[in-house]
Structure 1
């Protein structure tokens, strides 16, 4: 019973938040959502690049020859 009430309350809060978002931004709401998605993708890409730089190439990449200066023949798996 408690879980269902919390779930209902969460749904009401999310619906109210969505209504406020679209009410405030109006026609620019979808542009804002796209902008937020683009910023999130760029931030995630930067985080993953930093993590890769810290760890270096993986064993699989080394086994495929991806750590050499000359591009490997199986470049899709690097």
Structure 2
């Protein structure tokens, strides 16, 4: 039973990563479309938009991993 519970937690963790990635990509595409209309679009603006996106993705994955570790330890 313990192995079954662990696999369920792993599945939820993987599902959360997929959901975070899809939501993050939608936010990025929206930001890029606004940037194209409101800014003189260049590589610099693309980098300015991409760095916070990847930082946010990393943070969300770390939070998911921490929650998983807390569930495993208790």
Q: TM-score range by the shorter chain?
A: 0.3 to 0.5
TM-score normalized by structure 1? 0.42
Structure showing greater radius of gyration is 1
Of structures 1 and 2, the one scoring higher in RCO (CA 8 A, sep 6+) is 2
Q: TM-score, length-normalised on structure 2?
A: 0.44
Pick the structure with more helix per residue: 2
